[in-house]
Amino acid sequence: MLQGPNFFVSFLYYFAGTTLIVLLVASQGMGMGLDMALPYQMGTICGLISGITGAYFNRSVTISVTFPNPKTLIRELDKALAQIGFEQKTQRDDYTIYSQSVALRTVFSGKIFVKIENNSAQISGRSRHLKRLQDALS
């Protein structure tokens, strides 16, 4: 199954980015020197908050869904994905790729990858989208 960034990789991405931005703003915009401890402390605190929050909402997870009939599985999955704003875009190898239908959201929201085997589907995507998908399927 295709895997996106896990919690640790997402945390590092948000932590490093936020820390650097805060350091630049503190040193250039607030007139603090990089030889002082305060910009690094502010950057670390903001980076930790941003890293944990960003990693929680944007990490990739995989769920498994089973149905008694493969046709029912595909129909229910398409219906649930449409409810949360996703539509089928492409078919690649044995994966179906869904993305959001609104053009601007497509850039920022990520994709959902679905692999169907027999009576089950492996679904991979951002955790916040898969939580909404699980609610729509139940």
Q: Region of 13 please: left (phi>0), alpha (psi -120 to 50) or beta.
A: alpha
pLDDT digits (tens, 9 = 90+) for 3-16: 778 889 999 999 99
- CA gap 78, 124 in Å, rounded: 15
Q: Does domain 60-137 have CATH number 2.60.120.260?
A: no
Structure tokens at 67: 């149905």
Q: What is the pLDDT of residue 111?
A: 86
At residue 83, the 3 state secondary structure works out as helix
Nearest CA-CA partner of 101 in 112, 92, 91: 112
- CA distances in angstroms from 66 to 61, 63, 73, 109, 115, listed in the order given: 17, 10, 7, 25, 12
Query: Whole-model pTM above 0.85?
Result: no
pLDDT bucket at 47, cuts 50 / 70 / 90: very high
Beta-strand runs (E) in the chain: 60-66, 86-92, 95-100, 111-117, 120-126
What is the per-residue pLDDT across 71-124, written as a single tens digit (0 to 9) for each?
888 888 889 988 888 888 888 888 888 888 776 555 566 888 999 888 888 999
Predicted local distance difference test score (pLDDT) of residue 48: 97
Each domain of the chain, given as residue ranges in start order, spans 7-58, 60-137
